[in-house]
């Protein structure tokens, strides 16, 4: 089994985290498969989706081994422990809760808490975050990343909110270690209509956008 450090490097190398937030759990795994077919292999199921915990458990057993599966919108240590036991390999939160970070450290899992201001970002890092999620990144955009990383270059930042195919290369060039993409990758209408090939193609475009921005 890969170590936490190896999984973290895998996440950083991949450059794209797909955030799957749906109204129903029925198509979560099929959506994840479509994303993976497009080359995005780091996938987050948010806890706002009904029965997401069951789907994490199912996906952990059935998804290919190259998929790094995580749980998002984790707000408290109780939920954190539940998703880890269900099979989540990384945990993401929109806010900063030190007890969530502590729980992830206890189980040696990657933790990505949310923060916005420089003080929140540094506090999350000092509490033990592996990556700090800047949310909502749409407020400051790529320029904000450049400004924050000037005095805090040691912190790994990932944007969520406002990430699309246009801003992805801009965030990467501004210093983001990767991007997290929700609705601009996982189109709910496409999922509802079974147009999974559209999601696969969009995933490919995000992978290429990151590679191009990194000069690969």
Write down the CATH number for the domain with range 4-213: 3.20.20.70
Active site residues: 44, 133
Grouping H, G, I as helix, E, B as strand and the rest as coil, residue 19 is strand
Secondary structure in 3-state letters for 46-61: ECCCCCHHHHHHHHHH
Grouping H, G, I as helix, E, B as strand and the rest as coil, residue 105 is helix
CB 206 within 8 A of CB 40: yes
**Domain locations in the chain?**
4-213
Q: Give which of 77, 20, 71, 11 is closest to 41, Cα–Cα.
A: 11
Max CA separation in the chain (angstroms):
46
CB 137 within 8 A of CB 170: no
Q: In angstroms, rounded to a whole number, what is the distance separating the alpha carbons of residues 165 and 173?
A: 13
- The stretch 90-100 carries a mean pLDDT of 98
Q: Does residue 24 register a pLDDT over 90?
A: no
Residue 25: its pLDDT value, please?
Answer: 84
pLDDT band for 83, please (50, 70, 90 cuts).
very high
- The stretch 112-135 carries a mean pLDDT of 98
- pLDDT, tens digit (0-9, with 9 covering 90-100), for 200-216: 999 999 999 999 999 97
- pLDDT, tens digit (0-9, with 9 covering 90-100), for 160-181: 998 999 999 999 999 999 999 9
- Reported pTM: 0.96
Q: Give which of 92, 2, 159 is closest to 101, Cα–Cα.
A: 92
Q: What tokens appear for 195 in the block?
A: 């147009």
pLDDT band for 1, please (50, 70, 90 cuts).
confident
């Amino acid at each position: 089994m890969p170590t936490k450090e190896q999984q973290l490097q895998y996440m950083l190398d991949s450059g794209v985290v797909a955030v799957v937030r749906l109204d129903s759990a029925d198509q979560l795994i099929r959506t994840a498969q479509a994303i993976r077919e497009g080359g995005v292999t780091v996938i987050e199921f948010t806890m706002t989706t009904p029965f997401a915990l069951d789907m994490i458990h199912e996906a952990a057993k059935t998804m290919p081994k190259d998929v790094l599966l995580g749980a998002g919108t984790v707000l408290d240590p109780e939920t954190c422990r539940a998703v880890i036991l269900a099979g989540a390999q990384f945990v993401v939160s929109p806010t900063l809760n030190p007890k969530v970070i502590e729980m992830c450290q206890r189980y040696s899992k990657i933790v990505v808490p949310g923060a916005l201001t420089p003080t929140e970002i540094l506090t999350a890092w000092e509490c033990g975050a592996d990556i700090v999620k800047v949310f909502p990144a749409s407020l400051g955009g790529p320029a904000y990343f450049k400004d924050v990383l000037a005095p805090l270059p040691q912190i790994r930042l990932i944007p969520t909110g406002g990430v699309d195919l246009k801003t992805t290369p801009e965030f990467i060039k501004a210093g983001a270690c990767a991007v997290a993409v929700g609705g601009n990758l996982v189109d709910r209408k496409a999922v509802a209509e079974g147009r999974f090939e559209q999601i696969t193609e969009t995933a490919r475009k995000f992978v290429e956008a990151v590679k191009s921005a990194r000069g690969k």
